[in-house]
Amino acid sequence: MKLAYRLRETGVAALRGLVLSVVSLGGSIVLLVACVLSLALIPLGIGAFTTPWAVQGLRHFANWRRLWAAQWCGVRIPPGHRPFPEDLRPGVIGQLERCRLVLRDPATWRELCWLPFDMTVGFLTAVLTVGLAVYPLEGFALGAGLWRAFTDGTRTGYWYGFVPIDGQVAGIEAALLGLALLTAALFLSPRLLLLHFRLTGAVLAPGKGELSERVRVLTETRRDAVDTSAAELRRIERDLHDGAQARLVAVGMDLGTITALMDHDPAKAKQLLLQARQSSAEALTELRDLVRGIHPPVLAERGLGDAVRALALRLPVPSEVHVQLPGRAPEPVESAAYFALSEVLTNAVKHAGAERIWVDLHHEGGALRMSVTDNGGGGAVVGAGSGLSGVERRLGTFDGVLAVSSPAGGPTMVTMEIPCALS
């Protein structure tokens, strides 16, 4: 069992190393070229418009790496980005201000300096992770007699590691070397993957000089949460005053009129009684919807998993929900996660034109992780005025992160993470 576990762990590490090696080299090169070109074009004025977009792509790329680090190896890499203010003006002036804010953010330069590191050291550690696990397969193939295909029976100078391949005996030696390498891979490949993310964290994580900035960001997110709560209370008060309260007042007036008409106009009294009954039913429906919007009863009684399943059942789009939560998160975290998922699902239905939605919830590495994938048209972005910006602020209250992958034409995948412990 222990050997089977180590083989599985090594195979998973090798697959992840393969993904990382491709992403580290290809993604880092593309983003480095895009960012450097945009910065070089700033004196010409063009870069002021392209730099925020290039940096936004860099942030998404780095955030994906942070999520993988937490999901795959339990390595937490805090982002430390400065959020854009909500009152940025539209048009050219707003774009210039956005460019200025991006360039003044220390996280931008830290992530830009990380790209050359990722395409060299990051690529090397990822390749070693997959290579150490895959290279022994060649040794086994040589030992099985396939050395003839490699040497063609006549060619010399073919080596496997430090073993020159010139016959079956050499093939067996290569197989023994492959066995030794596989034994080493069982212990080293998962550790090389962990090393990759720890080195990434050493470059991406904010330094001590940025702790005060981190405190400032957290203070802003807490203030945003307080402002959002106050706005929500005003909305509830307005909905109660204009909706259920008005209907209940009308019911009371109708009952008074019914009492007066009961003796001399029973038909009219019966009509008003039916009207009062309809109004009371509508008031009850509005109150239920209002309570569900404040804190759904199913969330309090049965937890986040069942609440999200109930939410998916009310969607007009076919949805699949996969939940793997061995316990319950703290109530504030559950509430934030529920409404964040609700906002993302609403966006998928309203704006993406999706025909199917997949939701996944699980807890791993000390964090609640949620992903929503749809097969819609894509093009979702996180920015001022977008629904995802509000989701990002909601998650930021709990030091959570949001990553969005939404190429033109789809599909869209929104991944959210909130650090928490389950009870």
Instruction: Give yes or no for a contact between 251 and 276, defined as CB atoms under 8 angstroms apart.
Output: yes
- pLDDT, position 86: 57
Instruction: Give yes or no for a contact between 201 and 68, defined as CB atoms under 8 angstroms apart.
Output: no
Same domain as 308, residue 222:
no
- pLDDT, position 88: 58
- pLDDT, position 307: 86
Q: What is the 3-state secondary structure (H, E, C) of the chain?
A: CHHHHHHHHHHHHHHHHHHHHHHHHHHHHHHHHHHHHHHHCHHHCCHHHHHHHHHHHHHHHHHHHHHHHHHHHCCCCCCCCCCCCCCCCCHHHHHHHHHHHHHHCHHHHHHHHHHHHHHHHHHHHHHHHHHHHHHHHHHHHHHHHHHHHHHCCCCCCCEECCEECCCHHHHHHHHHHHHHHHHHHHHHHHHHHHHHHHHHHHHHCCCHHHHHHHHHHHHHHHHHHHHHHHHHHHHHHHHHHHHHHHHHHHHHHHHHHHHHHCCCCHHHHHHHHHHHHHHHHHHHHHHHHHHHHHCCHHHHHHCHHHHHHHHHHCCCCCEEEEEECCCCCCHHHHHHHHHHHHHHHHHHHHCCCCCCEEEEEEEECCEEEEEEEECCCCCCCCCCCCHHHHHHHHHHCCCCEEEEECCCCCCEEEEEEEECCCC
Same domain as 266, residue 173:
no
Same domain as 70, residue 9:
yes
Distance of CA 213 to the CA centre of its chain: 23
Same domain as 277, residue 139:
no
- pLDDT, position 398: 77
Q: Which amino acid is at 121?
A: V
Q: Which of 206, 241, 265 marks a domain boundary?
A: 206
Q: Which tokens hold the place of 112?
A: 């830009």
pLDDT, block means (10 residues), the chain with 423 residues: 77 88 89 91 86 87 86 80 63 76 85 91 91 81 70 62 74 80 84 91 73 60 58 60 64 69 71 72 64 65 85 85 87 83 83 83 84 82 66 76 78 85 80
- pLDDT, position 217: 60
Same domain as 25, residue 45:
yes
Query: What residues form DSSP beta bridges with 374?
Result: 357, 412
Same domain as 170, residue 151:
yes
Collect all residues with Cβ–Cβ distance below 8 Å to 95 and sequence separation of at least 6.
48, 49, 52
Q: Which of 268, 294, 320 marks a domain boundary?
A: 294
- pLDDT, position 377: 78
- pLDDT, position 116: 93
Same domain as 85, residue 126:
yes
Same domain as 286, residue 306:
no
Same domain as 179, residue 276:
no
Q: Which of 172, 206, 240 marks a domain boundary?
A: 206
Q: How many CA atoms lie within 13 A of 200 on its CB side?
A: 34
- pLDDT, position 37: 92
Domain that holds residue 269: 211-294
Same domain as 325, residue 279:
no
Same domain as 260, residue 182:
no
Measured distance CA(372)–CA(359) in Å, rounded: 5
Instruction: Give yes or no for a contact between 332 and 304, defined as CB atoms under 8 angstroms apart.
Output: no
Q: How many domains does the chain have?
A: 3
Q: Which tokens hold the place of 144?
A: 């099985």
Distance between start and end Cα atoms, the chain: 30
Same domain as 160, residue 54:
yes
Measured distance CA(323)–CA(302) in Å, rounded: 13
